[in-house]
Amino acid sequence: MKGHAPRVGLGIDIGGSGIKGAPVDLDSGTFVVDRVKVATPQPATREAVAKVLAEIAASFPEQVSADCPLGVTFPAVVQHGVAYSAANVDDSWVGANLEHVFSEVTGRRVHVLNDADAAAVAEHRYGAARDAEGVVLLTTLGTGIGTALLVDGRLVPNTEFGHLEIDGHDAESRAASSAREREDLSYEEWATQRLQRYYSVVEDLLSPDLIVVGGGVSRKADRFLPLLHLRAPILAARLRNTAGIVGAAVAAAERFGAPS
């Protein structure tokens, strides 16, 4: 007896250095075929980025049906499809209706969300926060600190807890992974002097039931997470650099319905 064909979604992750996309098996959270990655155009204008996105969306004709909706992550505050900021992309994006722009060039229904929000959706569906109830906080430690919040699996979009003012500083300026590298801190110094303070403040504000830590440095989570003392469990993200694509595909399928 043959198994049923997987439900397939399509996700594209737009970043400051690369734009990458893949068809996603919505049952397992894995890529159906290898992702396609293209360098982000410089400058990352509307026309240039939209052209690359359209090319990537058209790269999987055998795996993705013509009526499959497209999920896209974007490095910005995104409200109802409109960008209200622009991180590492051209300022011309501010005020643009991303869903209209990307739908026009791909011919697909499009759902756009913040990149950290997409990662949280993926981790809740398939990763470290799988099926977790209550309040889940995802943070990405990188150049800055990205954050996303889920309540009983529902996304509270566009949180910016990396920019909390703590001890007179923008939190990410002292606690991001880039701060550790810039100041040549050991993992122990970073954890005990910077991350402990950051996560303690956030925990007191949100009382999360679970904290998930992503970003490239999460590959070395064993070097710093065990040094943190918090009420909530704190775990390393599992999907790593696939989370944006996977979360975008899931969010689009949930909004529009995935082809069976």
Checking phi first, is residue 44 left (phi over 0); if not, alpha (psi -120 to 50) or beta?
Answer: beta
Which residue ranges make up each domain of the chain?
Answer: 8-117+242-256, 130-237
Cβ pair 213, 235 in contact under 8 A: yes
Please state, rounded to an integer, the average pLDDT across all residues of the chain: 95
Instruction: Please tell us whether the domain made up of 8-117+242-256 is placed in CATH 3.30.70.1400.
Output: no
Write the single-letter amino acid at 94: V
What is the structure's pLDDT at 104?
A: 98
pLDDT (tens digit, 9 = 90+) per residue, 18-65? 999 999 999 999 999 999 999 999 999 999 999 999 999 999 999 999
Write the single-letter amino acid at 42: Q
What is the structure's pLDDT at 143?
A: 87
Q: What is the DSSP string of 132-177?
A: --SEEEEEEESSSEEEEEEETTEEE----GGG-EETTEEHHHHHSH
Buried (b) or exposed (e) across 199-236, using 16+ Cβ within 10 A? Answer: bebbbeebebbbbbbbbebbeebeebbeebeeebebbb
* CA–CA distance, 181 with 115 (Å, rounded to integer): 23
pLDDT (tens digit, 9 = 90+) per residue, 200-241? 999 999 999 999 999 889 999 999 999 999 999 999 999 988
Fold type of domain 130-237 = Nucleotidyltransferase; domain 5 (3.30.420)
pLDDT (tens digit, 9 = 90+) per residue, 93-114? 999 999 999 999 999 999 999 9
* CA–CA distance, 28 with 7 (Å, rounded to integer): 9
pLDDT of 188 strictly over 60: yes
